[in-house]
Amino acid sequence: MSTLIIPPGYRSALDVKQTEKAIKLVKDFFETNLAAELRLTRVTAPLFVLRGTGINDDLNGVEAPVAFPVPDMGGHTAEVVQSLAKWKRMMLADYGIPYGYGLYTDMNAIRPSEALDNIHSLYVDQWDWERVISEQERSLDFLKTIVRKIYSVMKRTEFHVWDHYPFLEPELPEDITFIHSEDLQREYPHLTPREREDEIVRKYKAVFIIGIGSALADGKPHDGRAPDYDDWTTPTLNGYKGLNGDIIIWNSVLGRAYEISSMGIRVDREALLRQLELTGAQERKELLFHRRLLNGELPLSIGGGIGQSRLCMYYLRKAHIGEIQVSLWPPDMVEKCKASNIFLL
């Protein structure tokens, strides 16, 4: 069921033409700086992959991808990508990317199962990135180092936007705060994960929640994660688990926590086997991606996705992602938005 937030008295600071120019400003600057900060090379990505290879992502395990038959390939079924976590890791190997370097791409996806609201669309556009790491870098400290690098690019971009549009004042705090999902559940045991995010991000404004996928003290994970890309089970320190997480910032226009990136250190052989068993998905071991990983053909890596439209929506202080990208929306949502000065592209 769609839930629409209408900010009281909302008026966009930029008209449609100004918005289109500003979108390009944000995307060009952020992309260039992210590539330099993480030492990434841009590559071209697929819009669809073959079903049955294990390359497409299951996200939290329940979304169904858009699929269609390919007559010239014997009727084999292709699926529109949902993200490129596993494809990128294969490309690190196939392109011979050396240690300490990586790749990124413009990922365009269709997620037909999304519940449409201010920040969720059928169309997903993000920078998907992946970088080769060493065994020693499969650690919480290294994960935090990469998160801080990404956050520094976010801060830099915010200043760049402010420099061009002085009325869009910076809001990001100087530093990002790290918190384990276990601690978040202990601090707010009677709240839902989404409500916990609102409380912690309202307090600190920019947060990285560590360890998303494993069951917490209440028997439920903070959020779902597929078993075959992020490592959400490896023990770290003091009983904590997981080498992944989400970058979440405070959206002052919507008055809520706002996820910008899901990322993490990827599974090694042991973590993959463990997570496939935990989720009852051992049959995936026979798929192309999983065979390559289990056979030692893929490098250790860290990677994630960063929402392009979400970043633009945040920096340009928009109330709806449809003010940034062209998608499909329920007619009643379009009318409600129009009546409230939210003009969808």
Q: Among 37, 114, 183, 259, which one carries the catalytic annotation?
A: 259
Cβ(51)–Cβ(80) under 8 Å? no
Active site residue 327: no
DSSP run (H or E) holding 102: strand 102-110
Active site residue 126: yes
- Extract the residue ranges of the chain whose pLDDT is less than 70: 1-2, 58-63
> DSSP state, 325?
S
DSSP string, 48-86: EEETTSS-S--TTTTPPPPEEEEGGGTTEEEEE-S--HH
pLDDT score for 2? 60
Instruction: Let me know if 230 is a catalytic residue.
Output: no
Query: Is 291 exposed, middle or buried (CB count within 10 Å of its CB: 0-12, 13-18, 19+)?
Result: middle
Q: Specify whether the backbone of 212 is left (phi greater than 0), alpha (psi in -120 to 50) or beta.
A: beta
Looking at 82, 214, 262, 327, which residue is catalytic? 262
Pair of tokens at residue 125: 């556009």
- For residue 290, the model assigns a pLDDT of 93
CA-based max dimension of the chain = 58
Return the DSSP state at 215: B
To the query of whether residue 106 is one of the catalytic residues in this protein, the response is no
CATH code assigned to 16-319: 3.30.930.10
246 as an active site residue: the answer is yes
Is residue 202 annotated as part of the catalytic site, yes or no? no
